[in-house]
Amino acid sequence: MIPFMKLAGSGNDFILIDNRRGALAPTRLKRLAIQLCRRRWSVGADGLIVIEPSSRADFKWKFFNADGSRAGFCGNGARCAARFAHIKKIARRHMVFETRVGLIAAEVVSPRGERVKVRMPDPKGLRLDVKIPIDGQEYIAHLVDAGVPHCVYMVDDLDNADVEGLGRTTRNHRLFRPVGTNVNFINVVDSHRIGIRTYERGVEGETLACGTGSIAAAVIANKLAGATSPVTVMPASGLPLIVAFTVKDGMYREVFMEGDARVIYDGYIKPDALD
């Protein structure tokens, strides 16, 4: 039996396992993510986070999407990992952990621990007004890497955006091969508020929230619609994310995201969950 905890950040849910003693072999983790993230058949989640020891930080994580693929980073997952580490006494309220995109600083900011702030990777690779040909039409998109690649469409009607259809086609478009991209549909409400819906690669469908997608949304909204820090990003879950940033010489620095990190339950994974 494998002890685990399930947490959710702004509607994204994750399975967290403390593997600092190395009970789970590295070769087993991809398959384990696929098995455990199945909804109805197993625990069910958007991703699996495995906590391991680090020689240069409080801990290291390995992040797996629901389809078993590795991701460089995940903003909502980062908040959940920080709260998990604090609960398990792996780290204090202020912590640093190791990821594929470098060292990430996080802080458990509320007394009960349910709110966490994370310093996000600096966005890079910004490209505006990119034409994407799909089925004889040209769609105008904006691209930015917020730890993982994101494509952003600005829309007037967020409720009726074709997240599943256009999202899936864009995610798999030849322009983004071989790794693909996450796809965000955003509506700028005012200078401090953005609505967002996201099609996530690795989950291969719309999720209730996306942390790195919220960073991408804030950057694009700042560039094209005058949004200013701090920005409240409202995802499909209705649980807001607060994004703060500074802009210097056209570059985005000191990017922070704050939001909830809820403990849903903990327990043991039994063999039936792996069938």
What CATH number has the domain bearing residue 140? 3.10.310.10
Which band of pLDDT confidence, cut at 50, 70 and 90, is reported for residue 275? confident
User: 174 and 96 in one domain?
Assistant: no
Q: Rounded CA gap, 131 and 40, in Å? A: 39
User: 204 and 111 in one domain?
Assistant: no
Q: Output the pLDDT for position 66.
A: 96
pLDDT digits (tens, 9 = 90+) for 226-274: 999 999 999 999 999 999 999 999 899 999 999 999 999 999 999 999 9
- Mind telling me the catalytic residues? 74, 210
Run of H or E including 224: helix 211-225
Residue 1 pLDDT > 90: no
Split into its structural domains, the chain has a count of 2
User: 110 and 44 in one domain?
Assistant: yes
User: 178 and 104 in one domain?
Assistant: no
pLDDT digits (tens, 9 = 90+) for 146-180: 999 999 999 999 999 999 999 999 999 999 999 99
User: 128 and 253 in one domain?
Assistant: yes
Say if CB 258 and CB 120 are below 8 A apart.
Answer: no
DSSP tag of 70: B
Q: Rounded CA gap, 48 and 16, in Å? A: 6
Structural domain including 84 reads 2-119+261-274
Residue with tokens 């967002």: 196
